[in-house]
Amino acid sequence: MLTLFVEAISVNAPGLDGWQNTKSILSGDSKYEDIAMPKYVPKFLPANERRRTTAVIKLALQVADAAMQETDIPANNTCSVFATSEGDTHIVDTICVALLSEEPMVSPTNFHNSVHNAPAGYWAMAMESRQASTSLSGFSSTYSQGLLEAATMVCTENLNTLLVAYDSPPPEPLLGSAPMKTAFGTAQLLCPAQRTTSFARLDISLVKDKTSDSMNDHDLETMRLGNPAARSLPLLQAIANHTERTVILPYLDTLQLSVKYSPC
């Protein structure tokens, strides 16, 4: 079992704008409404880098930045795990179309942004961080795999780790092979020891043949099933309700992630 503590959370998705707004909806204090995500500008990046970022990269940077704004822990002394199922499929589509043209030419910026760890690279450079960083993908269980990787880094290296999970619907024809209904991003700052500002303890273990938790609200359940990063919603709901609960998250076919949440 891995034990760690949550220092900060951020969420960004249609109708879920920031942790406080999301917390109110997940706890039942406010009704969920499908509202378009506000435009985000990563002001911590130099102007040239800002122009190079894509919508998917901005989504990852937005939730990472929002989480770190809620803590006094320095971002440049924090490890990171960036978890995305599909990466930047719009860039992939643009490159594939370019390669099929009569004069195939790929933009250096597009090629640069096509690598899976591009968001992690932008983040590390902006924060001047030399700490360890992992970028991974695990299809529909990407969030669980990201959480397990981050928890392992926290518990084995005894270092604060920022988990950033994000995905955005791909364009056609990729959408047919990777169905996704909406964009969703979330970040959690995880720590090895409880601090006075910690608000959640997580005990993580692997279990066999358990049914993954779902959302009672139809719209939120549609969101959960419609984006791999949104598989985090049952855990986020447990934290929002501030009530001890064990959440089962999808991992492998017969192996799931059990996350016991206890309020600090």
3-state DSSP of the chain = CEEEEEEEEEEEECCEECHHHHHHHHCCCCCCCCCCCCCCCCCCCCHHHHHHCCHHHHHHHHHHHHHHCCCCCCHHHCEEEEECCCCCHHHHHHHHHHHCCCCCCCCHHHHHHHCCCHHHHHHHHHHCCCCCEEEECCHHHHHHHHHHHHHHHHHHHCCCEEEEEEECCCCCCHHHHCCCCCCEEEEEEEECCCCCCCCEEEEEEEEECCCCCCCCCHHHHHHHHCCHHHHHHHHHHHHHHCCCEEEEEECCCCEEEEEEEEEC
The answer to pTM > 0.85 is yes
pLDDT, residue 235, reads 98
What are the pLDDT digits (tens) for 30-53?
A: 999 999 998 898 999 988 888 889
Percent of residues, the chain, with pLDDT higher than 90: 77
Q: Which CATH architecture has domain 2-263?
A: 3-Layer(aba) Sandwich (3.40)
| Domain coordinates in residue numbering, the chain | 2-263
pLDDT surpasses 90 at 66: yes
Q: Identify the weakest region by mean pLDDT among 98-107, 224-233, 241-250.
A: 98-107
